[in-house]
Structure formats: C-alpha cells, structure tokens
C-alpha cells in the first residue's frame, strides 16, 4: 500500500469502532486510542498527523452543525464532510479485509450514515422546490409580462397626455371662435381664455406626471430584472453544487453495494447466512439514498427527504 492510501485508510480506521475498551489497571480507552496506538507501532511517522486530521475533521463537522449563521449552507457543508469520511472508511474496508461478518456490519453502518448525510443535504437544499429549469422559465415569463405591462402603461400615459393636450387646444379654440359679439362677447371671451389657460396648465401637469410615472416604472422594471437575475444566478450555482454532491453520493453508494455483494458471496460460499439481515439492511438504505438523490437533482418530482426518515 502506498503512503497516500495508507493515510486514507488509517484516518478512516480510527472511527470504525464506537465502543470503549478498558482494563483493570488503566483508565477507559476508546477505539480511537487503541487504533492510533496500533498505527504508531506500524507507522509512527504518520500516527500523529492522522490523529490530528481526524480531530480536525470532527471539529469542522461540529462547528458546521452548530452554526446558525450559515443555515442551510452549513448543513450542506456538514453533509459533504460526512461523505468524505465515508469515502475514506470504504477505502479502509477494502484494504483491511478481515472477518466478512464484521465487514458486513461496518458496511451496513456506513450505508445508514450515508442515507442520513444525504437526507440532511436534501433538507437543506429544499428538495421539493421547482427545478432550475422551471424556475428560469417562470422568471422569464415574469419578465415578459412585466415588459408587456410596462408598454401598456407607457402607451396609456402617452395617449392620456396627447388627449389632454388635444382637449386643451380644442377648448382654447372654442373660446376664441364662439365668443358673442359686443361687450358681453368680450367679457365672455376673456373668461373663456382664462379657463382655457387653466385647463392648459392642468393638462401640462398631467402630461408631466404621466412621463414621470413612465420613467419610474421603467426604472423599477430594470431593478426587478437585476434582482431576478441575481436570484437565478444563485439558484443556478446551487443547482450545480447539488448535482456534484448527488454524483459523489451515487459513486459512494455503488461502492458500498459492490462491497456488500462481495462479502455476501464470500459468506454464502461457506454456507454462512448469518449476515443476510445486514445485507438486506444495506440494500434498503441504499435504495433510500437513491430516492433522496433523485429528490435533490429533480426536486419538482415532489419527493421529500422526510419521507424516508
């Protein structure tokens, strides 16, 4: 085994056992302590570094899980860290060999942990929301509707301004041509001119208001376009990350399935069926993983991560 593969295997082996070991003359020791000591006897150069790597990984996971600032992103990152650890443990299991029944139980444990990590990621990614393609289409339709509405508003305001101006002109012209003859005609004509001037002022104000409203709507539309574009970009990047995670999960699940099949064959060749229940459990957990991965990559199918809790 090369130095790199040894490093990955040793790092994973430290977490394989969960029980504590103790003797009458020593304080309780964990499986981690026992395995680290064994590694030191075989490869003392890497023992301390491996222990530090494991502690750092656990610390990162704990920090991400306890973080309330990053919310869903921290949950996704924590799930990704768990996936890395599971990968390393699979490499170790393939390298160490050992009792097939023990290995089968470890595979069952890893399959269960994989399902939990994928479920955590799916919950954080909002796997029941519409997929990116649908979101983009909806956004595009929204933009189109906004453009149509804006053009309608612009046209109506322009027409209103034109109508007001025409009305003002007509009224003014009417005042000039329909005034009565004589003294009364002069008085009535002056009154109509004043009314026409007031109407013209009002019409100009309305036209100016219409133009200002149109400009405001245009600016609002531009702002909406920028905001929606930023949201789409964010969703797109999130969708890419989701697909990458789902691909990694599928690879890990395939490795667990293949390893479980090898162990099952070895035991059945010896007539040993004691771990068949563990093998069935592995298959069920991996089936759950497959379904949740489908929810992550195609959320519009309506699959919820909690359905497989």
Quick: pLDDT tens for 106-124. 999 999 999 999 999 988 8
Owning domain of residue 260: 98-166+215-309
Tell me if 210 sits within 8 A of 121, measured CB to CB.
no
From CA 73, how far away is CA 69, in angstroms rounded? 9
Same domain, 66 and 127: no
Is residue 152 in some structural domain?
Answer: yes
Q: Identify which of 29, 30, 36, 37 has the alpha carbon closest to the alpha carbon of residue 12.
A: 36
**Is the distance from CB of 100 to CB of 275 less than 8 angstroms?**
yes
What is the predicted pLDDT for the residue at 184?
Answer: 53
Same domain? 29 vs 111: no
Secondary structure (3-state) at 2: coil
Shared-domain flag, residues 36 and 149: no
> Which distant-in-sequence residues (6+ apart) come within 8 Å of 21 by Cβ?
28, 29, 30, 31, 34
Is the separation of the CB atoms in 111 and 35 below 8 Å?
no
How many CB atoms are closer than 10 A to CB 176?
11
Residues 59 and 122 in one domain: no
Q: Are 126 and 299 in contact (CB under 8 A)?
A: yes
One domain, residues 136 and 44: no
- 187: in domain: no
* Nearest by Cα to 55 from 15, 21, 18, 23: 15
> Which residue pairs from 219-228 have beta carbons closer than 8 angstroms and sit at least 24 positions apart in sequence?
221/146, 221/147, 221/150, 224/143, 224/146, 225/143, 228/139, 228/142, 228/143
Residues of the chain with pLDDT under 70: 1-35, 64-71, 127-198, 200, 226-228, 230-238, 299-309
User: For residues 31-40, b (16+ Cβ closer than 10 Å) or e, as one string?
Assistant: bbeebbeebe
Please give the model's pTM, rounded to 2 decimal places.
0.46
Same domain, 73 and 124: no
Judge if 140 and 27 occupy the same domain.
no
Residue-level pLDDT at 86: 92
Q: Which two tokens stand for residue 158?
A: 């322009």
Residue 235 domain-assigned (yes or no): yes
Could you read off the pLDDT of 13-69 as tens digits, one per residue? 445 444 444 444 455 666 566 667 777 777 777 777 777 777 787 777 777 666 554
Please report how many Cα atoms fall inside a 13 Å half-sphere around the Cα of residue 157, on the Cβ side.
21
- Are 29 and 81 within one domain? yes
pLDDT of residue 234: 56
Query: Which pLDDT does position 267 carry in this prediction?
Result: 87
- Upper half-sphere CA count for residue 57 (Cβ side, 13 Å): 20
Verify that 146 and 264 share a domain, yes or no: yes
Q: Is residue 175 part of a domain?
A: no
**Are residues 6 and 103 part of one domain?**
no
pLDDT of residue 112: 94
Final residue belonging to a domain, choices 62, 79, 97: 97
User: For the chain, how many structural domains are there in total?
Assistant: 2
Looking at residue 81, its pLDDT comes to 92
Spatial distance between the Cα atoms of 228 and 31, rounded to a whole number of angstroms: 52
**Does 225 lie in the same domain as 80?**
no
Residues 48, 12, single domain; the answer is yes
Q: Which residue has the tokens 């309608």?
A: 152
Asked if residue 221 is part of any domain, the answer here is yes
């Amino acid at each position: 085994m090369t130095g790199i593969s040894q490093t990955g295997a040793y790092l994973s082996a430290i977490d394989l056992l969960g029980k504590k070991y103790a003797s009458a003359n020593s304080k309780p020791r964990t499986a981690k302590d026992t395995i680290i000591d064994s590694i030191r006897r075989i490869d003392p150069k890497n023992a301390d570094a491996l222990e530090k790597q494991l502690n750092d990984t656990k610390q990162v996971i704990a920090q991400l899980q306890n973080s309330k600032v990053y919310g869903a992103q921290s949950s996704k990152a924590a799930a990704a860290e768990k996936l890395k650890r599971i990968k390393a443990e699979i490499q170790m299991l393939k390298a160490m060999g050992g009792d097939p029944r023990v290995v089968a139980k470890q595979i069952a444990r890893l399959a269960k942990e994989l399902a939990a990590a994928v479920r955590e990621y799916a919950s954080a990614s909002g796997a029941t929301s519409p997929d990116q393609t649908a979101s983009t289409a909806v956004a595009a339709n929204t933009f189109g509707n906004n453009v149509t509405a804006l053009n309608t508003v612009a046209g109506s305001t322009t027409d209103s301004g034109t109508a007001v101006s025409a009305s003002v002109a007509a009224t003014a012209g009417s005042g000039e041509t329909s005034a009565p003859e004589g003294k009364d005609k002069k008085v009535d004509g002056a009154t109509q001119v004043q009314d026409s001037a007031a109407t013209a002022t009002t019409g100009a104000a309305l036209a100016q208001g219409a133009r200002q409203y149109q400009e405001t709507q245009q600016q609002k539309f531009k702002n909406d376009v920028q905001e929606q574009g930023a949201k789409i970009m964010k969703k797109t990047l999130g969708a890419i990350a989701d697909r990458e995670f789902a691909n990694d999960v599928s690879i890990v699940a395939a490795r667990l399935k293949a390893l479980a099949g090898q162990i099952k064959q070895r035991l059945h060749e010896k007539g040993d069926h004691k771990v068949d229940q563990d093998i069935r459990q592995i298959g069920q957990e991996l089936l759950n993983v497959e379904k949740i991965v489908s929810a992550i990559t195609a959320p519009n199918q309506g699959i919820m991560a909690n359905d497989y809790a």
